[in-house]
Each structure stands twice: as C-alpha cells, then as structure tokens.
Amino acid sequence: MTIVVLTRCPSGLRGFLTRWLMEISPGVFIGGPSARIREALWAEVRQYADTGRALLAYTTNNEQGFTFETHDHKWQPIDHEGLILIRRPKETPAVASVPPPPSGWSNASKRRRYRQR
C-alpha cells in the first residue's frame, strides 16, 4: 500500500499521479504499485513539487509495518533505535506588539445607526 499526500503542488503533478494511484481526497493518493514504480513516482514528485510539500508513506517489513519519506516538510522523520519518529521543530513564540483597537465607532455600527433613521 502506498500513500502520497501533496500540499500546494501543481495540478499537473496531481494528474500525473492519477495514472498510477487513486485520488481519494484532494491531494491524497493511494494505491498499490510495485517498489520500482513507487520509487519512480517519488522521484517525479520531488522533481516537480516546486514550492509544495509532499509525503510518501508505504508498507514495509519492519516493526512499525510502514515507513515514510518527506519533501520540504518542517517535520522531519528520524530513526530512534529502529523506529521512525517525527521530529517537530520547536516553535519560537512570536513577540509582536498587538496594536490597540481603533477608537470610536466601527463601520458596521455607523451603518446601523444611519439605517435606523
């Protein structure tokens, strides 16, 4: 079983994948191609993904029963004592000053006030 998830990728790439896999939801493809075809598809996805992101997950003979590869994701797979885990980057809190709300009446309240007359 092979699953490919595309985010912000060209529509031509989605059309290319529908030759081998079935699109069950926008950007989510599933199917059962051979390992050779799966590797060829993944090479094409990585080449034509442009600024988009891609994720490939497939069944394999290991303790987890599957493995996955990523392309341009912030979350990266790491090997931890034989298990593939996801490492999420630490989010640094953005310290930005929030501007105070504007004083006076809102545009909506001004419109309601003039409609009542």
Answer yes or no: is pLDDT of 76 > 90: no
Are 33 and 41 contacting, i.e. CB atoms less than 8 angstroms apart?
yes
- Flag whether 113 is in a domain: no
Rg (CA), the chain: 23
Mean of pLDDT values over 83-103: 73
| CATH code of the domain covering residue 83 | 3.30.70.240
Domain count along the chain? 1
- Flag whether 111 is in a domain: no
Mean of pLDDT values over 27-31: 96
Full residue range of the structural domain in which residue 30 is found: 2-87
Task: Provide the percentage of residues in the chain whose pLDDT is more than 90.
Answer: 56
In this prediction, residue 111 carries a pLDDT of 72
Nearest to 2 by CA among 42, 59, 44, 43: 59
The confidence band for 47, taking pLDDT boundaries of 50, 70 and 90, is very high
Name beta bridge partners: 29.
4, 23
Q: Per-residue pLDDT tens for 51-65?
A: 899 999 999 998 899
Q: List the structure tokens of 70.
A: 């990523």
- Flag whether 110 is in a domain: no
In this prediction, residue 116 carries a pLDDT of 62
What is residue 100's three-state secondary structure?
A: coil
In this prediction, residue 58 carries a pLDDT of 96
What is residue 47's three-state secondary structure?
A: helix
Q: How far is CA 94 from CA 88, 97, 98, 100, 101, in A?
A: 17, 9, 11, 17, 20
Kindly state the DSSP code that residue 103 receives in the 8-state scheme.
Answer: S
Answer yes or no: is pLDDT of 115 > 80: no
- Flag whether 43 is in a domain: yes
Answer yes or no: is pLDDT of 38 > 80: yes
- Flag whether 26 is in a domain: yes
